[in-house]
Structure 1
């Protein structure tokens, strides 16, 4: 069976086009070493993606995003917001029923990150925190003590945290994002809702074991074209994990919605899994 009609998809990773496509190289300049990353690639994992979406930031970017969502039946989307990028804050304030804010925390400056998250919650109503362990300078492992104030704040505010997991796209060491590190975090924060972002490869079998073990641990499909969804994840969703697996796209950063929704029907989810994967799990995790 294909995707049910009229389901009202919730996409857990969309956004406005970046003003500077090389922003990531500037942010990670202290850890990048290869010349292509330092001076050439316009995407941190450009060597992996084909046909990257070509979109520029304009005054109508939020409305353009909504039109693209409407084309594919996406009712709501979680987008990153930043106080350094007023357009993102304006977008979630003008379209609170459609565009939901997330706020990225860099634990290398612990108190600034925690205060920023609290401010984003109060002033922009963000519904989630995000954390990119290998994107910090220096990298901050998932289970590092520097990240613990972030997790404690998420518990305090009732927010989920989306954490990049597995081999990172940027050409930096992967140890900070080893999936086994979630085991300690889930043990120390049993009230925390954690979502693995960007797949967790090559540790998907381990991710399944940990999701079976820890009630608060989930998985999202961001940055994966549907035809490349890990088999271990699909099998888990079709058996015991239907409540743990959630859809996230990656438009306009790396994948088009045209490609995603053309490939989704071939994933092989059971009929009863689709509504949970595309909508209800995300609404529950975001507290909606």
Structure 2
């Protein structure tokens, strides 16, 4: 039951800031925000949900700064979003053994987005692509026809797709992220690995049921402090789902590594679950 301290952790959701002000991370869906608090007062759109949004401060080299933070908590590798900018290229060139890359995608861009996925995968070697369905503008549901070209591209490239599921933290409509939408996608793409992000609440029991049903469906713990991991997910990991639950943090977008790894030892995973959760499942699912 005790969290081991000798495992090189693989974090499947981490970010490299490019400046002290990280608001550019949320620019794509700011037009969807209508309440004044979200638009003008929050430093990140779901700030009401997080007690202490990390302050990164100023750094001469945020890539090296991020690696230093990882080293403090024995994070061996981390998946970060690939942006076609200097920061992403420096992370890949300077620390090729520390970072692997996910490409955030917009299904509204149609075939142009498919071409971009294939081009960047050839250049970079992506570990996955991802979509924030409620954060697309216009919003696109998990099982909408605009998503299917992206699913096809990921299946052809043999890489997973990560999808935000459940009620979104930002104050935007939730319909696009209902967990039930995954059922059709898992059925139509039986060889495509699909990784749920951001909790699946309040439908976490349905998420477990679908993971039991579909061998290609997985769950990552992104954006949740360990003390708030859903009980249904912990119970599933400790029984039939030890190969399905993957550690993902949310640093520095909303959670500090101190908070995450301060909470983590209190998670009641069985002894044999910890290595899979912290490392082995990520290696298997993302082909590391």
CA distance 1:216–1:28, change in 2 (3 Å): same
Aligned counterparts of 1:92 and 1:130: Cα–Cα separation in 2: 19
CA distance 1:235–1:144, change in 2 (3 Å): same
Of 25-34 and 116-125, deviating more is: 25-34
Query: Higher helix share goes to which structure?
Result: 2
Q: Aligned pairs, how many?
A: 287
Task: Determine if contact 1:30/1:138 at 8 Å carries over to the other structure.
Answer: no
Aligned counterparts of 2:234 and 2:30: Cα–Cα separation in 1: 36
Matches within 5 A, 1:256-275: 256-275=256-275
Q: Does 1:81 align with 2:82?
A: yes
* Aligned-CA RMSD value: 1.3
Alignment-derived partner of residue 40 in structure 1: 41
Relative to the length of structure 1, the TM-score reads: 0.96
Give CA deviations for 1:110-143 in whole Å, capped at 9, x if unaligned: 1222122112211122211011001101110000
Alignment-derived partner of residue 118 in structure 1: 118
CA shift for structure 1 position 18: 4.8
Give CA deviations for 1:124-172 in whole Å, capped at 9, x if unaligned: 2221101100110111000011010100000110111110000101111
Alignment-derived partner of residue 189 in structure 1: 189
Structure 1: gaps of 5 or more residues: none
Give CA deviations for 1:158-198 in whole Å, capped at 9, x if unaligned: 11111000010111100000000000000110010000001
Structure 2: gaps of 5 or more residues: none
Relative to the length of structure 2, the TM-score reads: 0.96
Task: Determine if contact 2:127/2:159 at 8 Å carries over to the other structure.
Answer: yes
Matches within 5 A, 1:124-203: 124-203=124-203
Aligned counterparts of 2:51 and 2:250: Cα–Cα separation in 1: 13
Aligned counterparts of 1:115 and 1:97: Cα–Cα separation in 2: 27
Q: Aligned with 1:103: secondary structure? A: strand
| Runs of 4+ with >2 A deviation | 18-26, 56-59
Alignment-derived partner of residue 278 in structure 1: 278
